[in-house]
Amino acid sequence: MNFEVVTLFPEMFDSPFAGSIIGKAVAKGLVRITAHNLRDWAEGRHQVTDDTPYGGGEGMVMKPEPLCRAIRSLKQQYPAARVLMMSPQGRRFDQQQARQLADEESLIFLCGRYEGFDERVRSYVDAEYSIGDFVLTGGELPAMVMIDAVARMIPGVLGNQGSAEADSFSDGLLEHPHYTRPAEFEGRQVTEVLLSGDHARIAAWRRSQQLLRTLQRRPDLLEHVPLTEKDRVELKRLKEMLRHDKNNENT
């Protein structure tokens, strides 16, 4: 899969994907990440990419011509590519979209700086994405976040395919807790279930822990997840357990 990034700071993309799992996927040829300098598509001796806003006001606006030339040139090279604009006004990026975008052959990321893009660039864009309700100084970090989340969903990128399937959100629930050796750490024992070797019991415990975690930390997620009848029974038991714990808090 090709990730083409248009940015004023291409060097920002060097180290984040150098080592690590994504770096290995690049080495294996599963993923290609190319950062392009927007300046290369700017005109004149000074290769200006920004200008003052019409109507006045603070800051600078990214000129439309260099961005549109960049899009045209990259689309010529990758005709199937989807053009994604990084923007706090975009639709919220989530795991479901990471999975969907991983099916694409090529993605073009537009990273803004200053006050953002001239509005007319938006008509050359397929989708606008935000990674959360906060403002950053540029779209580069959001693009890196999206590239990491999408790339790890490509078959073969993660060593074992099971870990992508077990991720938080992959089944709509948060992940169960993880433990490794030692079995006792600072007086705290790993639950006997995980040491039992009884795979059915371990699976049931983990599912219950997923439900409990999600109930305690992200109850909003429970409104959309498909739950089995067994899940519903367990969830009811967990809710009663929590209600009972709460009633005993003040006694």
Residues that bind ligand 4GT (CB under 6 A): 86-88, 112-114, 116, 130-132, 134-136, 138-139, 142
> Residue 212's closest CA among 183, 240, 182, 180?
240
Q: Where is 62: in which H helix or E strand? A: strand 61-62
* Residue 17 or 109 having the CB closest to ligand 4GT: 109
* Residue 143 or 211 having the CB closest to ligand 4GT: 143
* Residue 16 or 23 having the CB closest to ligand 4GT: 16
At residue 79, the 3 state secondary structure works out as coil
Rounded to 10 degrees, the C-alpha dihedral 221/224/228/232 comes to 60
Quick check: 22 and 148 in contact, CB under 8 A? yes
88 labelled catalytic: yes
CA distance 217 to 222: 11
> Residue 221's closest CA among 94, 82, 98, 65?
94
Given 69, 88, 118, 122, which residue is catalytic? Answer: 88
Given 167, 171, 175, 231, which residue is catalytic? Answer: 167
115 labelled catalytic: yes
For ligand 4GT, the nearest residue by Cβ is 112
Nearest distance from C-beta of residue 32 to ligand 4GT, angstroms? 22
Nearest distance from C-beta of residue 136 to ligand 4GT, angstroms? 4
* Residue 9 or 179 having the CB closest to ligand 4GT: 9
Q: Kindly report the backbone phi and psi dihedral angles of residue 234, in degrees, each rounded to the nearest multiple of 5, phi listed first.
A: -65, -40
Nearest distance from C-beta of residue 194 to ligand 4GT, angstroms? 38
Given 51, 103, 105, 115, which residue is catalytic? Answer: 115
Quick check: 66 and 41 in contact, CB under 8 A? yes
Catalytic positions, written as ranges: 88, 115, 152, 167
